[in-house]
Structure 1
């Protein structure tokens, strides 16, 4: 009986409950301009969500840089067009672009970066896209993000 009480007490002290939702995702991008995941589902129980982008390739960011950018599906083309104009020094993201919900910095082979954003920025039923804004990459490097119902 004492062991059972101690076990329950220890479980109660856990920083993360056993039933807690996974509020993070890791995506790999490579030198073939591909993400290893085409979709991400964000549990509605999360307060914040973190995406970690890992560049598993070898090429430098000047020639094969990748980032992870989240916006509404309807805003994707505008974010890409304005990002191209912003250039590499701005990570191919227009400074202050309110259409961008979250983004990582531009990274090269062997590097990684993470971004954490409030789930409150997402609405159930809305359509979200994530993509790489390095010129030409979004044709292959894209996916969908949904808020779980």
Structure 2
């Protein structure tokens, strides 16, 4: 009898142990353990999408650079081998380039000062040189003074220049087109001290 009871108790113990191994807690633990893994795996996919946005910005970046590469001012209007440009009290020319027709033998530039300030305070002129000579000619012209229109006397680098004028005044200069056909590029600028940094443009024969 005791033997039967012992065997029965042993069988119950084994049955309970087997049921314990099949406890529903195991699947829940596995599901809980895998859930964060799935979340971690999908997270990079969500964060990867915004990373493509800078690429779109970079692709558009060359547009402003292209705009900054040239003047935003219009070309001068040319008729009958002549043009008129304006200088202002805001230290600006109204044009950024002058295109001289190749059919012209002489060309005339008329400068109109549309401001009101006197020549001593905001004088303007037009000086034409090679682009490579512009800074040196402007710097040396400062030493020549206002009486010389801030242009060094007999400077061989100067192709042509007008007189220095104040608000409401007009001046002009004519020169042989052959002087700017070769050896360029050439520029026109104002040699009044400090003006050439802003008041300048290109001049070419086409």
What TM-score do you get using the length of structure 1 for normalisation? Answer: 0.83
1:112 aligned onto 2:170: yes
Aligned length: 128
Which structure has more RCO (C-alpha within 8 Å, separation ≥ 6)? 1
| Residue from 57, 67, 72 that aligns with 2:130 | 72
Distance 1:127 1:109, change over 3 A: same
Could you tell me how far apart the structure 2 residues matched to 1:23 and 1:125 are? 21
Could you tell me how far apart the structure 2 residues matched to 1:71 and 1:130 are? 7
Answer whether contact 1:22 1:43 (CA < 8 A) is retained.
no
Could you tell me how far apart the structure 1 residues matched to 2:105 and 2:181 are? 13
3-state SS of paired residue (2:152): coil
- CA shift for structure 1 position 22: 2.9
| Residue from 99, 104, 107 that aligns with 1:46 | 104
Gaps of 5+ in 2: 1-78
- Runs of 4+ in structure 1 off by over 3 angstroms are none
1:95 aligned onto 2:153: yes
Q: Which has the higher strand share?
A: 1
Could you tell me how far apart the structure 1 residues matched to 2:157 and 2:171 are? 21
- Structure 2 residue aligned with 1:35: 93
- Structure 2 residue aligned with 1:12: none
Q: Which has the larger radius of gyration?
A: 2
Gaps of 5+ in 1: 1-20
